[in-house]
Amino acid sequence: MEKENDALRKAVRYLKGIGPKIGATLAKRGVKTVEDLLYLLPNRYEDKGALKRIEEMEEGMTGLVVGKVISSRPVYYPRTRKRVFEATVDDGTGSLALRWFQGPLPYLRETCEPGNTLLVSGRISRFGNRLQIVHPEAAVLDDGGEVDRYERILPVYPEIEGVKQGTLRNLVRRALEDCDHGRTSVLSREMEESYGLIPLSEAFAKLHRPDETMLDRVTHRRYVERLILEEYLLFQAALFLKKREAAAEEGIGFACDGIYRTSFEKSLTFELTEAQRRVIGEIEEDMGRKVPMNRLLQGDVGSGKTVVAVLASSMVLSNGYQVAFMAPTEILAEQHYLTIHKAFDDMGVPVAFLRGNMGVERFAVLEGIRAGRIQVVVGTHALIRKDVVFNNLGLVIIDEQHRFGVIQRKVLKEKAGSPDLLVMTATPIPRTLSMVVYGDLDVSVIDEVPRDRKKTVTRVYLDKDRDIVYKLIEDELKKGHQAYIVYPLVEESKRIDLLDAKRMAAHLQKTIFASYRVGLLHGKMKAEEKEDVMSRFKEREIDVLVCTTVIEVGIDVPNATMMAVEHAERFGLSQLHQLRGRVGRGKSVARCALITSEKRTALAVRRLKAMEKTGDGFKIAEEDMRLRGPGEILGVKQSGIPDFRVGDLVRDGPIMSRARRLAEDAVGRLTVEELERVKTVVKERWGHTLHLSDVA
């Protein structure tokens, strides 16, 4: 096994027949190991059966020819002001012109170097009295160029500057031979068979040494999917391993009833939703077991995650343990502090707020935490500082978890033996993505909002109709309600005519909303200033809050019933959904106006229209992922989305589900050595993406 695997992980530069120059070029493209080379799949296949002589070519037909480049050069046509790269190929029966109207010159020069043998395909047309192909597919065969040396179906690889098709083909062939007798899959042949999978080695062979069947797209796709499954399977197996290891740790078994819980439940002024009850049950079960809980609580904005978190906290208190509650911003942390403080104050439970800079007061709080006098601590990143030492931390709760890196999550967790962990997010994540990003966590979903919630009425408005929006805002203000106006940028940008928050706050106060109180909130303000504005908004001392996306997460002001978003096209749909979640938190129907410039494309407007139709965060996230890719949804660099070689998370979601099922089973069947290899490979491939940094 060891030796066979070495063949896959061997550096490409040790393959026979590869010079240091080509090795370096390939490495630059991310092709470093023999395995990387195997995953470098042909872009397309050409059927030599369709090969024709140039003398047989006629206008209008699709031609595939092999010919030698006689000449090539860039040409400028002054009359039409067009730059064209032209080449002539000859196959001994005639010549054909190739023309490119754009394209990277160095690449074209290299491909069409006189003397090169090209495999060319494309539609034959006529230019003057000569036959030509405009924008042909052209690949340099190897130096000898005789096409007879190849099988009937030619794999055509992605162009890599400085590496000819023939060279690539030979290298891949050698790589295949190296692995032929070994094992390419993480699964044994028996396991592949029992799962009904095409053997991975067969898939590689088919894709790189194609026969006629590979011209059929459906067949081709089946083999590609086997490769995708393998990648996903490896990844998921690593997650299951991580989970299994976590489950072997000893955790605290909490008794989940008790006086604090009962009192808190009694104090609630509303009925818990069915979904809230269900996830509380799931959490309770986890907390009762002597294994650390690792649970993600997903729920759309306003679905009531905080109550669930506070309830979980109340269970911990009765057992004499401490709770740490971390939120990404001061504003949000303070809001949680107030909620929790209110919940526990009557019961005599000391709750502390740990903010970024709090002067000497901090020492008293730290001392209280260390001594165990303070039972619940709410705060921002300030919680993970070294000098915060807990007495007996039992539960860590992290709100809007995607805003934190896993490192921060770990640091906080490691402040105690093995506390339970509950992370929460209001960013609905499509299932496929959540299987990747949160694959090592157990997931609970609150898929229901409290019944009294009304759907927020959302409309897209063009710039020129802004007055209508102002009128809508005024209507709400007249009813004693409040409004948000959101801008994408803080300060005037030189490049574009974006309306910025600062300038507009001043302008609106002077003009349209002169008889109301306009406030300003943006990310560049000092923490105290922000808090001050936010609390004034909560106290209704501000009617219209002009702001940037700082209000995006978690802010809860039920009296705010109207939101206008300027330059809405600049936001992702998921982000707009988060923003919109700031309104519609009270009893009355709320409105959200998405303002966009007329100059915007129809596509942008169509994208925004999706917001009018649905209030379902999961549907919106799916759409967002389709339109803007998975990275955008999490909206942070450290999002932990691994890069797969062939698999595409948007396109290949169902394969991920299958891989997950197989991985769960496979992890139980693989030998210790095989599992060690999974860890090593996964760490090498994806170790830098945060969730896996501690796999091995």
Instruction: Report the distance separating Cα 679 and Cα 646, nearest Å.
Output: 20
Instruction: Report the distance separating Cα 522 and Cα 526, nearest Å.
Output: 9
Site string for ligand ADP, 185-224 (x = CB under 6 A): ----------------------------------------
CA 609 distance to own-chain centroid? 23
Tell me the closest approach of the beta carbon of residue 170 to ligand ADP, in angstroms: 58
What DSSP line would sit under 367-394, residue for residue? HHHHHT---EEEESGGGGSTT---SSEE
Query: What's at 662, amino acid-wise?
Result: L
Tell me the closest approach of the beta carbon of residue 327 to Mg ion, in angstroms: 8
> Which one of residues 14, 101, 127, 270 is an interface residue with ligand ADP (CB under 6 A)?
270
Instruction: Report the distance separating Cα 183 and Cα 35, nearest Å.
Output: 11
Tell me the closest approach of the beta carbon of residue 350 to Mg ion, in angstroms: 23
Instruction: Identify the CA nearest to 336 among candidates 395, 385, 399.
Output: 399
> Which one of residues 42, 63, 166, 304 is an interface residue with ligand ADP (CB under 6 A)?
304
> Which one of residues 554, 615, 617, 640 is an interface residue with Mg ion (CB under 5 A)?
554
303 binds ligand ADP per the rule CB under 6 A = yes
Helix, strand, coil distribution of the chain in percent, nearest 5: 45, 20, 35
Region of 298-306, 510-518, 616-624, 671-679 interacting with ligand ADP (CB under 6 A)? 298-306
Site string for ligand ADP, 94-133 (x = CB under 6 A): ----------------------------------------
Tell me the closest approach of the beta carbon of residue 265 to Mg ion, in angstroms: 19
Tell me the closest approach of the beta carbon of residue 275 to ligand ADP, in angstroms: 9
Compute how many residues bind ligand ADP; rule: CB under 6 A.
18
Q: Which is nearer to ligand ADP, 556 or 674 (CB)?
A: 556
Q: Which is nearer to ligand ADP, 242 or 582 (CB)?
A: 582
> Which one of residues 301, 437, 633, 690 is an interface residue with ligand ADP (CB under 6 A)?
301
Q: Which is nearer to ligand ADP, 18 or 579 (CB)?
A: 579
488 binds Mg ion per the rule CB under 5 A = no
Instruction: Report the distance separating Cα 664 and Cα 680, nearest Å.
Output: 18
Q: Which is nearer to Mg ion, 379 or 554 (CB)?
A: 554
> Which one of residues 65, 426, 429, 594 is an interface residue with ligand ADP (CB under 6 A)?
426
615 binds ligand ADP per the rule CB under 6 A = no
Strand residues in 308-374 grouped as ranges (E): 322-326, 351-354
Region of 118-126, 356-364, 500-508, 551-559 interacting with Mg ion (CB under 5 A)? 551-559
314 binds ligand ADP per the rule CB under 6 A = no
* Token output for 156: 């055509």
Residues 555-594 touching ligand ADP, rule: CB under 6 A, are: 556, 585
Region of 52-60, 121-129, 222-230, 264-272 interacting with ligand ADP (CB under 6 A)? 264-272
Cβ(589)–Cβ(615) below 8 Å: no
φ/ψ of 159, rounded to 5, equals -70, 125
72, interface contact from ligand ADP, Mg ion, none, CB < 5-8 Å by kind: none
Cβ(97)–Cβ(132) below 8 Å: yes
Q: Which is nearer to ligand ADP, 18 or 280 (CB)?
A: 280
CA 465 distance to own-chain centroid? 35
**Reduced to 3 states, what is the DSSP secondary structure of residue 94?**
coil
419, interface contact from Mg ion, ligand ADP, none, CB < 5-8 Å by kind: none
Q: Which is nearer to Mg ion, 306 or 596 (CB)?
A: 306
Tell me the closest approach of the beta carbon of residue 383 to Mg ion, in angstroms: 17
φ/ψ of 396, rounded to 5, equals -110, 125
539's CB contacts (< 8 A; 6+ apart) are none
> Which one of residues 111, 201, 306, 408 is an interface residue with ligand ADP (CB under 6 A)?
306
Element (H, E) at 156: strand 153-156
Instruction: Report the distance separating Cα 523 and Cα 532, nearest Å.
Output: 13
Burial 587-622 (b: 16+ CB within 10 A, else e): eeebbbbbbbbeebeeebbebbebbeeebebbbbbb
273 binds ligand ADP per the rule CB under 6 A = yes
* Token output for 560: 């705010």
Instruction: Report the distance separating Cα 468 and Cα 301, nearest Å.
Output: 27
Tell me the closest approach of the beta carbon of residue 309 to ligand ADP, in angstroms: 8
Instruction: Report the distance separating Cα 472 and Cα 446, nearest Å.
Output: 32
A 10 A CB-CB count for 44 gives 14
- Contacts with Mg ion by CB under 5 A lie at 554
- Contacts with ligand ADP by CB under 6 A lie at 270-273, 276, 299, 301-307, 426, 450, 554, 556, 585
